Amino acid sequence: MNKQLPLDEFVSQLRDGMTIGIGGWATRRKPMALIRAILRSPLRDLTVVSYGGPDVGLLAAAGKLRKLVFGFVSLDVLPLDMHFRNARQAGAFEVMELDEGMVQLGLRAAAMRVPFLPTPVGLGTDILKRNPDLKMVRSPYADSQELVAMPALKLDAALLHVTESDVRGNCVIMSPDPFFDDLMARAADAVYLSCERIVATNKICSHERARYQPFERSIVTAVIEAPFGAHPTAGVPGYGIDVEHLKAYNAATTPEAWADYRSRFVDIASHDEYVEAVGGRGKLASIPPPVY
């Protein structure tokens, strides 16, 4: 089955009000080309689950969020994403603020098809008080511990950026950390992959490389080729974080500056044009991997 889709066509498979999980972590391997495609579409009222970076900031700035389920939003080198910050401070969307580990457990519960997973994480904090939907559960065993029943975070769709894929969705993530992309995929009814390159199956997998495959192709819905598709976040081993671009993005907070940013980097005809607009392939490929 050939699952390849053009970039802007994937959005037509999404619906208003969907719950969408976004892979990657803060400024690393975010499916930014897919996010920009959502910004160009009329899609709205999204509930987003993310280890947040500029993906959340862009969606917040464009008014696409109805609700955010998150543990943090950060640009790492620039600790605060101003678009997220301004929208959050204006009360522009609902929030379910959780511990990072609770997000993981919620995705895992959805992946396991159980209604919740018990955890002590959250006890003693304001997470329970601020999220009255979270319930407690008592261990049925001799310890009879009271634990948080972290509810399954079921996703309608997961958006992930991987290194390579074949047209059937056999993919590999070659960057240092696969994060929780595998749980996002298994928690979702549909999985949309953007990738640096679509390649032949025998170029993706070998006995050595098969271990870089986060999940099997049968849960992949569509594959979208988008070289540098994680930009301005890192797509190691190909390119690092574009700190200069993130600074410009983070400074574009007035209505005029945001409109200018959108017209230059979002509302453009093709992904190739985006790559040119941010400096071209040669420049992006020369951004070194981040040092923490």
Partner 1 sequence: MNATSYSLAELCIAQCAEVWRGEGEVLATGFGAIPRIGAGLAKLTFNSDLLMTDGEAYLLSEPVALGPRAARDAEIEGWMPYSRTFDLLWAGRRHALVGPVQVDRYGQMNISLIGDYRKPKAAILGVRGLAGNSISHANSMFVPNHSPRVFVEGEVDMVCSAGYNPARWPQGQIPADLRVGRVITDLAVLDFGGSAHAPRLLSVHPGVTVEQVCAATSFPLELAARTPETVAPTEEQLQLIRERLDPNGLRKTVFKGDPPGDRR
Cβ closest to partner 1, residue 121 vs residue 248: 121
3-class DSSP state of 201: helix
3-class DSSP state of 150: strand
Amino acid at 208: E
DSSP-derived pairing of the beta strands 94-97 and 65-73: parallel
Give me Rg for the CA atoms of the chain.
Answer: 19
Binding status of residue 53 toward partner 1 by CB under 8 A: no
Q: Which residue in 21, 54, 151, 178 binds partner 1 (CB under 8 A)? A: 178
169: left (phi over 0), alpha (psi -120 to 50) or beta: left
What track of x and - describes contact with partner 1 for positions 184 through 223 (by CB under 8 A)? ----------------------------------------
Binding status of residue 132 toward partner 1 by CB under 8 A: no
Read off φ and ψ for residue 161, nearest 5 degrees: -115, 120
Q: Which residue in 46, 58, 84, 194 binds partner 1 (CB under 8 A)? A: 84
Read off φ and ψ for residue 137, nearest 5 degrees: -140, 145
Q: Which residue in 95, 149, 167, 174 binds partner 1 (CB under 8 A)? A: 95
The angle at the Cα of 254, spanning 26 to 53, to the nearest 5 degrees, equals: 5
CB 158 within 8 A of CB 184: yes
The DSSP call for residue 212 is G
Binding status of residue 135 toward partner 1 by CB under 8 A: no
DSSP-derived pairing of the beta strands 222-225 and 188-198: parallel
Binding status of residue 137 toward partner 1 by CB under 8 A: no
Shortest Å distance, C-beta 55 to partner 1: 14
The span from the CA of 289 to the CA of 27, in Å, is 12
Q: Which residue in 104, 163, 213, 233 binds partner 1 (CB under 8 A)? A: 104
Q: Which residue in 97, 156, 189, 272 binds partner 1 (CB under 8 A)? A: 97
Shortest Å distance, C-beta 220 to partner 1: 20
Binding status of residue 149 toward partner 1 by CB under 8 A: no
**Binding segment (CB under 8 A) for partner 1, from list 38-46, 82-90, 242-250, 273-281:** 82-90
Contact positions toward partner 1, by CB under 8 A? 25, 52, 70-74, 79-80, 84-85, 88-91, 95, 97-102, 104, 119-127, 130, 146, 176-180, 288-292
